[in-house]
Amino acid sequence: MFHEKFAEGVISAKQFDREDIEYILKKGREMISEKNSNLLRDKILATLFFEPSTRTRLSFESAMYRLGGNVIGFHTGDVSSIKKGESIADTIRTVENYSDCIVMRHSLEGAAKMASKFAQIPIINAGSGSGEHPTQALLDLLTITEECGTLNGLNIGLMGDLKYGRTVHSLSILLSNYDVNIYFISPVELRMRNRDKDFLQQRQMKYKEITDYRKILNILDVLYMTRVQKERFIDLEEYEKVKNIYTFRADDLENTKGNFRLLHPLPRITEINPNVDNSEKAIYFKQTYYGIPMRKAILAELMKN
């Protein structure tokens, strides 16, 4: 049962086998057509965001309200006692007394995992440093399956900052449960880390690493672009070298299949030119919508009695 298996919460995409993914996608799909409900009436969600967020926090909060629940939280470490020197562990041991589930974003890669060790209530990882962002990956899969009809057999490009981008880490882990052809598209400096590739190889995922997306654009069904993660670079000169490495433009669309779809977790900086936005192939704003049904499904599963 999902509820029991995920009693600690949703920390990593590695927790999900194919059956779990199919189950939660089905629940997400059911939420698309559901109006507001009272499923989580009297429940309280705590959102602890130590890093900036627009979509993740607001969609979690909106999802909770749409399920009839309540939200407490803070949106910068500056206003919590962490600023005074309090540990994450003590913060979690406190907030769990005030809520039924905690959504947390933090710059440390192991933060959500650590929090789950100290909490008796479920923790949802809303982004842990360069590590993972599992609920984004679930909403990405919901977007792809709803908009492309299937996952199996697709040629999917993951492009941009594959080294520091947590969304692509979680998404590739989830995709390793499916029969898909993956193209990791990045400059050499921003390739997937070896430890991430080792994991995907163990799962026998089929992938290729390339630098020029134009070479394969005509065979892709899905291109998932990402921002170069400026805040993770130790040396900003290195960031300057790669920051404008890719810019997808409207004329690139001419070389794509009719059913091609362009996704991005957002925020986008310069990697997609705004002249692409009006194409029906550009579905990154639709993708933000799917955050609501997906997160409603996750919250409902974790907090239902």
Q: Which residues bind ligand NCD (CB under 6 A)?
A: 55-56, 127, 133, 136, 166-167, 226-227, 265-266
Shortest Å, Cβ 265 to ligand NCD: 4
27, 105, 166, 268: the active-site residue: 105
Nearer to ligand NCD, 13 or 266 (CB): 266
Concerning whether 55 is annotated as a catalytic residue, the answer is yes
Alpha carbons 165 and 131: distance in angstroms, whole number: 8
Shortest Å, Cβ 51 to ligand NCD: 7
Nearer to ligand NCD, 145 or 287 (CB): 287
Shortest Å, Cβ 99 to ligand NCD: 21
47, 56, 143, 256: the active-site residue: 56
Shortest Å, Cβ 231 to ligand NCD: 9
CB distance 17 to 281 below 8 Å = no
Nearer to ligand NCD, 106 or 133 (CB): 133
Nearer to ligand NCD, 69 or 291 (CB): 291
66, 106, 113, 133: the active-site residue: 133
29, 55, 232, 281: the active-site residue: 55
Nearer to ligand NCD, 55 or 191 (CB): 55
The values of phi and psi at residue 304, to 5°, are -70, 150
Which helix (H) or strand (E) segment holds residue 125: the answer is strand 123-128
Alpha carbons 143 and 141: distance in angstroms, whole number: 5
Alpha carbons 293 and 146: distance in angstroms, whole number: 12
Longest CA–CA span in the chain (Å) reads 55
The number of angstroms, rounded, from the C-alpha of 138 to the middle of its chain's C-alpha atoms is: 7
**Bond from prior residue into 52 cis (ω within 30 degrees of 0):** no
Question: Six-digit token pair at 265?
Answer: 């977790």
Shortest Å, Cβ 160 to ligand NCD: 9
User: Dihedral through CA 11, CA 126, CA 157, CA 164, nearest 10?
Assistant: -90
**Would you name the residues annotated as active-site residues?**
55-56, 84, 105, 133
